[in-house]
Amino acid sequence: MCGIVGYVGTDRSVEVLLGGLRRLEYRGYDSAGIAVIGGDGELRIRKHAGKLQILVDDVERQAMPNGGTGIGHTRWATHGSPTDANAHPHLGDNGKLALIHNGIIENFAELKAELLTAHPDTVFTSETDSEVAAHLVGYAFQETGDVTQALRAVVAKLHGAFTLLVMHQDQPGVVVGARRNSPLVIGLGEGENFLASDVAAFVEHTRRALAIGQDQIVTITSRTVSVIDFDGGSVEPEEFEVTWDVSAAEKGGWSSFMAKEISEEPEAVANTLLGRSTGGEVRLPELAGDDDRLKDINRIVILGCGTASYSGLLGKYAIEKWARIPVEVELSHEFRYRDPVLDARTLVISISQSGETMDTLMAVQHAKKAGVHTISVCNTQGATIARESDAVIYTYAGPEIAVASTKAFVAQVAALYLFGLHLARVRGTLDAGESAALLDELKSVPAKLATVLEQHDRIRQLAHWMADTRAVLFLGRHVGFPVALEGALKLKELAYIHAEGFAAGELKHGPIALIEPGQPVFVIVPSPRGKDSLHPKVVSNIQEIKARGARVLVIAEAGDAAVLPYADEVFTIPLASTMFEPMLAVAPLQIFAMELAAAKGLDVDRPRNLAKSVTVE
């Protein structure tokens, strides 16, 4: 979850590292620190608990000698509380070596005990697992005199997940990184090279990148990049070009990244659909050659966490309806520990915006070991989950910086619906006319979504009135249920308000006991049109809660008069058939959560205790 950046180039490490950390701060913001080898050849560090700005202010107040070699870290605390001492970098070899770490070293206690037996004078200044690695690499450097060899000797002893970056004062002009189950990419510049957890850290300097595989070590200088595996064998990394530029990762005048990202939802869906259909049929070139396999599968398991799992639920409804195949949705972290039944006719689809969520990565690896074909739906090019899956359907939502996922959600739903239509074509479960009509309707979502976003000011007003609210309930039925879950998650994580999403049909089985006068309840109401519409049932649910004094806040189709007598507020969505309603209904709930958090004076982009990508289990 931490963000890490390394640089070797001209004498501007301090600016490059602080700029990189600013773009990685979404990964963790408990503390930040940098280490630089100055022009005088001395290694110096600065680090502070709290947000990056504290470090930036300190570096500005007491200028730090610049140099061409440096590493930087922004932390999401695991071992040890967020203090100055626990902030990275950590030092080894009597202060001549600096190390930063993302992940968890599971056997750090044993390693520390061994280290203290071999070197009883070692002084630990933090409670972190990472400092153990710094000392181990420091002692290994004393034997090898080379950072790459020293790091290679140490990673062989580590259990767990890690990305480590190391530099040593006696080997200036070199930064070495190693990764296992934790992200690391290389940025290729002109006379300078970069290492980072995410391309966002260096995209303002270069869009040329190299992906590093599992269990590999990379050594960069200003002019060279070399990669080896943990056994020392040489590796040829795969080059890719970052498809977005730095402006996509800037706020561009919006009050928050989240506000900007919600406004980009129509574009995120449109870009995800772009070039993926021809003549009324979905075409997914990424699945070319898979038709026989897709005809043969008899079950799909969708994996994801948080918001990604809710887009997965919508994927289930669509795939089952259109391709007539059973689909289960499971939280990635529950999946592999219950010894799931898997066979060659199962297809696993993992969903992850970041492509680095450890729980999902582990679940994919588990499925692959069981011989299951895996497809990922991912928003980050070259991410670990994408690379480890047999195929990837990228969403093209652009970089999502705010910790709360918004545009990625609707883009994931679009990608899953494309997959559902593709599968239906391959399996012959929809006729051409139906399929073309559904595709057309999917393509109409961006324009409709843009009209939903026009209600932003009214939603803001409601959120401001409700700034003192202590609990909010969300009800939805069928495809409205995942929307209710997502609305509740957004409100919890952003506004720190107790929020629960329920399937409306479950109301009478317990949750209705929570309704008391004034209790706010958002209800996602399906369209009244269509012979099988669940509209009458949801309107009955509204009547039941209204009768008990609930404050009813409704998301309904424009012109739905049946809800008006009971609703305290109505936000409308344009006419859409059932499967597409969630892509429209979710935006008002995202905006509501964001505006309520803003009304409470909270940091909308960086809610407490969270990080954008959860790269530890």
Identify the residue among 305, 416, 524, 545 touching ligand M6R (CB under 6 A). 305
- Kindly report each contact of residues 284-291 with a partner whose C-beta sits within 8 Å and lies 24 or more positions away, as own/partner: 284/393, 284/418, 284/419, 284/422, 286/391, 286/392, 286/393, 286/394, 287/375, 287/391, 287/393, 287/422, 290/373, 290/391, 291/426
- Quote the longest CA-to-CA distance of the chain: 79
Cβ atoms of residues 422 and 428 within 8 Å: no
How far apart, in whole angstroms, are the C-alpha atoms of residue 372 and residue 358?
Answer: 19
613 binds ligand M6R (CB under 6 A): yes
Identify the residue among 148, 354, 389, 541 touching ligand M6R (CB under 6 A). 354
CA 431: distance to chain centroid?
A: 36
Identify the residue among 126, 272, 277, 353 touching ligand M6R (CB under 6 A). 353
Distances (CA, A) of 292 to 289, 427, 521: 8, 9, 47
For 246, the token pair is 């730095």
With CA atoms as reference, report the closest residue to 73 among 46, 33, 102.
33
Rank residues 93 and 359 by Cβ distance to ligand M6R and give the closer one.
Answer: 359
Identify the residue among 128, 357, 376, 578 touching ligand M6R (CB under 6 A). 357
261 binds ligand M6R (CB under 6 A): no
Q: Which stretch binds ligand M6R (CB under 6 A): 3-11, 116-124, 141-149, 300-308?
A: 300-308
Burial class of residue 285 in the structure, from the number of CB atoms within 10 Å of its CB (0-12 exposed, 13-18 middle, 19+ buried):
exposed
Q: Which stretch binds ligand M6R (CB under 6 A): 292-300, 304-312, 447-455, 521-529?
A: 304-312
389 binds ligand M6R (CB under 6 A): no
484 binds ligand M6R (CB under 6 A): no
587 binds ligand M6R (CB under 6 A): no
Size of the site for ligand M6R (CB under 6 A): 17
With CA atoms as reference, report the closest residue to 283 among 422, 455, 88.
422
Q: Which stretch binds ligand M6R (CB under 6 A): 89-97, 101-109, 266-274, 351-359?
A: 351-359
Which residues, 489 to 508, sit near ligand M6R by CB under 6 A? 489, 493
374 binds ligand M6R (CB under 6 A): no
**% helix / strand / coil in the chain, to the nearest 5?**
40, 25, 35
Rank residues 297 and 308 by Cβ distance to ligand M6R and give the closer one.
Answer: 308
Q: Which stretch binds ligand M6R (CB under 6 A): 17-25, 42-50, 419-427, 608-616?
A: 608-616
Residue 2 known to be catalytic: yes
Q: Which stretch binds ligand M6R (CB under 6 A): 91-99, 212-220, 420-428, 607-615?
A: 607-615
Q: Position of tokens 């588990």?
A: 366
Which position among 260, 316, 448, 612 bears the catalytic label? Answer: 612
182 binds ligand M6R (CB under 6 A): no
306 binds ligand M6R (CB under 6 A): yes
How far apart, in whole angstroms, are the C-alpha atoms of residue 305 and residue 336?
Answer: 13
Minimum CB distance to ligand M6R, residue 331 (Å): 10
How far apart, in whole angstroms, are the C-alpha atoms of residue 62 and residue 403?
Answer: 31
488 binds ligand M6R (CB under 6 A): no
Cβ atoms of residues 139 and 93 within 8 Å: yes
362 binds ligand M6R (CB under 6 A): no
The dihedral sign for the CA sequence 285, 289, 291, 294: negative
Q: Read out DSSP for 83-123?
A: -TTTSSPEEETTTTEEEEEEEEETTHHHHHHHHHHH-TT--
Residue number closest to ligand M6R, CB atom: 306
405 binds ligand M6R (CB under 6 A): yes
Minimum CB distance to ligand M6R, residue 497 (Å): 15
With CA atoms as reference, report the closest residue to 212 among 177, 242, 241, 244.
177
360 binds ligand M6R (CB under 6 A): yes
311 binds ligand M6R (CB under 6 A): no
410 binds ligand M6R (CB under 6 A): no
Which residues, 427 to 466, sit near ligand M6R by CB under 6 A? none
Minimum CB distance to ligand M6R, residue 309 (Å): 8
313 binds ligand M6R (CB under 6 A): no
399 binds ligand M6R (CB under 6 A): no
Q: How do beta strands 281-282 and 277-278 pair?
A: antiparallel
How far apart, in whole angstroms, are the C-alpha atoms of residue 215 and residue 165?
Answer: 14
Q: Phi and psi of 455, rounded to 5°?
A: -85, 10
What residues contact residue 98 under an 8 Å CB cut-off, 6+ apart? 35, 43, 45, 71, 89, 90, 91, 92, 134, 166, 167, 168
Q: Which stretch binds ligand M6R (CB under 6 A): 89-97, 130-138, 239-247, 397-405?
A: 397-405
Identify the residue among 307, 395, 590, 615 touching ligand M6R (CB under 6 A). 307
What residues contact residue 457 under an 8 Å CB cut-off, 6+ apart? none
Q: Which stretch binds ligand M6R (CB under 6 A): 137-145, 205-213, 349-357, 437-445?
A: 349-357
Establish how many alpha carbons lie within 13 A of residue 133's alpha carbon, considering only the half-sphere containing its beta carbon. Answer: 35
Rank residues 71 and 489 by Cβ distance to ligand M6R and give the closer one.
Answer: 489
Cβ atoms of residues 607 and 597 within 8 Å: yes
Rank residues 349 and 539 by Cβ distance to ligand M6R and give the closer one.
Answer: 349
What residues contact residue 475 under an 8 Å CB cut-off, 6+ apart? 484, 501, 502, 503, 504, 507, 521, 522, 523, 524, 538, 541, 545
Which residues, 234 to 253, sit near ligand M6R by CB under 6 A? none
404 binds ligand M6R (CB under 6 A): yes
Minimum CB distance to ligand M6R, residue 475 (Å): 20
Which residues, 76 to 135, sit near ligand M6R by CB under 6 A? none
Q: Which stretch binds ligand M6R (CB under 6 A): 16-24, 71-79, 279-287, 402-410?
A: 402-410
Which position among 2, 378, 407, 546 bears the catalytic label? Answer: 2
With CA atoms as reference, report the closest residue to 407 among 271, 247, 312.
271
The residue ranges that bind ligand M6R (CB under 6 A) are 305-308, 352-354, 357, 360, 403-405, 489, 493, 610, 613-614
Catalytic positions are: 2, 612
